[in-house]
Structure 1
Amino acid sequence: MIDETVLEHRLLNLEQAISDLQRKVEGKPSENWLEKLIGSISDEEAFLKALEYGRAFRQADKPTDEDEE
């Protein structure tokens, strides 16, 4: 069985942690998560490669004009 003093100490620690978290949340302005995400990976090599694959796929899907040949 847990000693009552230990339990009270743990409860005080939890209350303090919750209080700290509430202060952190209340102090921050609301951020638009999408605005934070936009452009965040635009310089990543894998992202640039995915863009190139998408571009090539779209180009391959375009009908060819037989009159141009």
Structure 2
Amino acid sequence: MVDPATLEKRLITLEQVVFDLQHKFESKPSPENWLENLIGSISDDSAFLEALEYGRAFRQSDKPINDADK
């Protein structure tokens, strides 16, 4: 069994962390427009372009091959 003093100390630490997280979350203004949440979320353009290319390749792989294209 855990020592009561240790348990109390851990509980106090946990309560402080929860308080800090709640304060951080509540003090952050939430934008009205959902798009404002996404702006700036892709900071690395090369990674974004690579992801677009993977998506394009995936969509193209699902298309049937025409005999005229061969």
TM-score (structure 2 length as normaliser): 0.52
Instruction: Tell me the residue number matched to 1:37.
Output: 38
Provide structure 1 residue ranges, at least 5 long, that are not aligned to the other structure: 54-69
CA RMSD of aligned residues (A): 3.2
1:49 Cα deviation after fit? 4.4
Distance 1:41 1:23, change over 3 A: closer
Task: Report Cα offsets for 1:32-64 as digits up to 9, x if no partner.
Answer: 5533435736832415646x87xxxxxxxxxxx
- Cα separation, 2, equivalents of 1:47 and 1:2: 49
- Cα separation, 2, equivalents of 1:8 and 1:42: 45
Identity %: 50
1:12 Cα deviation after fit? 0.3
Distance 1:41 1:24, change over 3 A: closer
Q: Is the partner of 2:17 in helix, strand or coil? A: helix
Provide structure 2 residue ranges, at least 5 long, that are not aligned to the other structure: 58-70
Instruction: Tell me the residue number matched to 1:19.
Output: 19
Q: Read off the aligned partner of 1:23 and give its amino acid letter.
A: H
- Choose 1 or 2 for highest CA Rg: 1
